[in-house]
Structure 1
Amino acid sequence: MPGNVAEVALRGPAQLADALPYLLGFHPDDSVVVVALHGERGRFGGRIRIGIPARPEEWPALADQVAACLETSCTSRGERPDGALLFLCQDPAVGETAGAVMERLRPLAQRLRTACGEREMPVYEALCLADGRYRSYCCPDPHCCPPEGNPIAMSGTSPMAAAAAYTGLRVRGSLRDMEARLTALGPPEASHQQRELDAAGAALVPRMLVCEGRRAVRAETLALAGRLMERFRDTVPDAEHWPTADAHDDGLLSDTEAATMILGLQDRKTRDQAATWMEGLDVAPALRLWRALARRCVGPYIEHAAAPLTLAGWVAWSGGDETTARVALGRALHTDPEYVFAQLLQRACNDGLDPEPLRRGMRAERAARLAAQNRARSGSGPRTSP
């Protein structure tokens, strides 16, 4: 296997089912996952995860898109897939059995297998994971893959788990949990936050529509961001339980501060300058801050979350956490599919690019901006916007 994981041979559906969370970094919910295979030994390559559409009429287009993306993304990195693995992950609805989930999703599995086969990427195994059990769409042997399914191995007992522990690879809970950390707060907090967003919008938007006012709001927003970064650096949650840690971070932000930041980050230059908190000791507090701000984008302001979600994705990717980056950027594009910064970052992250060239550009821009500010303060040059 590539990346951080030591080489480990996986044999049979049981070990493949157990390996899936380690391949993604989380337990997928309501997901189609396709993993590229390379060479005679079936080395793992690129992988694609996408939500399962609720409407079956959308499945053919989804299958074609997933197969095309898998082929294109792997080929762009210089290695065309020789085959693929398919996982359909969905827990039963109320009153539904895991076996019924498998049969309901069977047409989707077949369409995905056909779409990959048409591109000469045969699907060597297709598994349905539901309610803690796996079932194979490919294996006809009832002794190996009985109709009632097989239980997924107890966490931490498989060869993949041993390899992951050896290399420090983490599984960050479920996708549902990771997305919950980026989702708007509910009542009663949401109503208080919306009132502050309304007030901040009334105060800031008219100023942001004129040049001088926009420069002033930019400076004020970045100054506030700097103070909040110091606060988040100095006050670190001591809880491992993520809801408790997030509640701690929510308590570090007043509704007024959150509203001011959210409105201010809608300015592209402000957002880009905020993105320079991107490395070293800034990574952890910045990720917590942007995540907390995304949770404050409530009610009619939900689309404003694209900016803090994209910043969360960027700082996570810059800090080496590709799993969190992909989830945050996915949420940003779900919020605003046309958000260009999120589109570019997601493509770069999925293509396995190194974030360092982007960091170098941001460092150079920040240095030039600070130099211009210093010249302006000393009176040796024209005043430049912050």
Structure 2
Amino acid sequence: MSRYDKLIRDFSDIHGKNPKRLLILSFIITIILGSGISLIKIEQGDDMSQLPNDIEEIQVFMKMEDKFERYNSIVIVINSENVFSPDILKEAYLLNQELMNVYGIEGSSFTLKLDEIYLSKEELKNRIEVSDSLGYMLIRLNVIKGVDNMKVYDDVKEIISKTTLNVQPGGDIAMGRELTDIILPEMSKISTFGMIGVLLCVILTFRSIRYGIMPLICVGVGIVWMMGISGFSGISLSSELVGVVSMMAGIGIDFAIQTINRYNLERTPIIIEKIVKTMEGVVEPIVVSSIVAGFGFIAMLTGSLSILDTMGKMLFIGVFSCMGVTLIFLPSFLVVQEKIFQDTKNLIKKKMEVYNEKD
């Protein structure tokens, strides 16, 4: 037996002889890493933030943007039959005053004063941005660059929700926020349907609800490890990268299915011997698969787009997180649940025998 094989066997023996200790260790690791999830920030990046900064054309464009476009903007659209109505203009003035008090907003296109709402139509057209039909009025708010655009937008939306005017927000910041609010629930729904589909397939494959649920538990723990390590590493997650979790679930569940399938193929009735043979058969392919996949994801770091850099880091962490869960958590979990299942089965069998003897 080579030194490598002996190392695998010793590691397998630990699972067979001390499964509860390793299971407790896995829970402790999961709790510690789970606390790192709260450190992950979900950022709404614009198109420019995804582009490389070392290209001359991009640098020139960013310099021009800094010089000539000092602000981001939120557009407020007011809808009315006649936006030049004094009542509408008064409400618009009061609304604009409240919006100007929001932190991060430095200017507004609505410069009309309260005593100027009775100006003539021609004068008002020169002062206010309106549609030709006079049914819409636009107020452009200048948002300072560098502030939290999403926080500013949320504050603006809270204010306009209280006005009596028919108001709708618009602009790039508003669109980014609304897209984020749409994407996150959609990804949650897609992940839920995906997990249900995977669960049904695994249950049908193993012909067992018990063994069908185990891969999903492993994937869940693996995702917690991945997100926790990412949080402690200071990785920020943008709305475009929410799908990384689903991608990781597809990769991680494969390790668990391989291990459980190999465990079920072992016919020895002795649990310790069964888990040792299982580990001897799956450790090497799982480790090699993780290393190969890890190198593939690390290669994404050579790309110039920041979204590829973040995705590569998270998937690299995710692959080895799922490997760790499969090699540390799953074998001990298999042993413990098998012992509980057998003890419960024997207990029920004894009670049935006692019940039959009484009859």
TM-score tier by shorter-chain length is: under 0.3
Higher RCO (CA 8 Å, separation ≥ 6 residues): 2
Q: Which has the larger radius of gyration?
A: 2
- Please state which structure has a larger fraction of its residues in helix: 2
